[in-house]
Amino acid sequence: MLIILPPSETKAFGGDGPTLNLASLSFPSLQENRENIVDVLRNYDVDEAMKALKISETLRPEAEENTKLLTGPTMPALYRYTGVLYDALDAKTLSEKAWDQLAIGSALFGVVRARDMIPFYRLSGGTKLDDATMKSRWGKSITQALEAENDFIIDLRSGTYQTLGKVKDAVTVRVENSEGKVISHFNKFYKGQLAREIADKDITSIDDIMDTPGFKFTEVNGKQLTMVV
């Protein structure tokens, strides 16, 4: 099983790992795309980057970090990403097996596994770099990399990141309240809770997910679940 989490806009600064080694990352078939996007992003000057990323002056330090993609420190991807989902996941308390079965979507790296060492960066799935969308930059490479895994995949990425590389047979999950209305902000929290609960399990079917204690699901079709909260 492989659970793919969405990335977060917020990330932890710093790290005590070595500088980025793209060749060491999981899903090596993504190497060429990663190199190209890293080169474009790190060579923007800070003002250009802020314009492309559509961020305010307050976030200038994050744009500055993009110039250090190949020189700054790294940390495991599961610690790099922060925010509501990752608070609910509580990575530091997860088992080794859970770490083995978690991956994270990324506009910069395509998809990485939990232990992959990555630097701080700022780049979202909706960004254009040199007028090229992230979807066009990634093409079919993420889809091909994930489908080559031959794992049962649970795709918890948001719509933007799913479009960067959809997985044909993956199970997706949406979060609704009892009235059938989509949950927005707390969507991430509930997905984090679900990922935490099932990450160290041997999930091989949509029925296994639906049997998870403490969660209520309705099956939309053989590939989509609605979590009712």
Rounded mean pLDDT of 16-20?
Answer: 99
pLDDT at 68 over 90: yes
Domain locations in the chain? 2-228
Residue 37 has pLDDT above 90, yes or no: yes
Is a pLDDT exceeding 80 seen at residue 185? no
Residue 10 has pLDDT above 80, yes or no: yes
| Tally of residues, the chain | 229
pLDDT tens, position by position, 76-124:
999 999 999 999 999 999 999 999 999 999 999 999 999 999 999 999 9
Rounded to 5 degrees, what angle do the CA atoms 218, 221, 222 make? 105
Q: What is the pLDDT of residue 41?
A: 98
Q: State the average pLDDT over residues 199-225.
A: 94
Give the single-character DSSP code of 83.
S
User: 3-35 burial by CB neighbour count: b if 16+ within 10 A, else e?
Assistant: bbbbbbeebeeebebeebebeebbbeebeebbe
Q: How far apart are CA 112 and CA 104, in angstroms?
A: 5
Task: Give the span between the Cα atoms of 66 and 121, in whole angstroms.
Answer: 5
Please state the pTM of the whole predicted model. 0.96
Summarize the confidence of residues 12-40 as an average pLDDT: 98
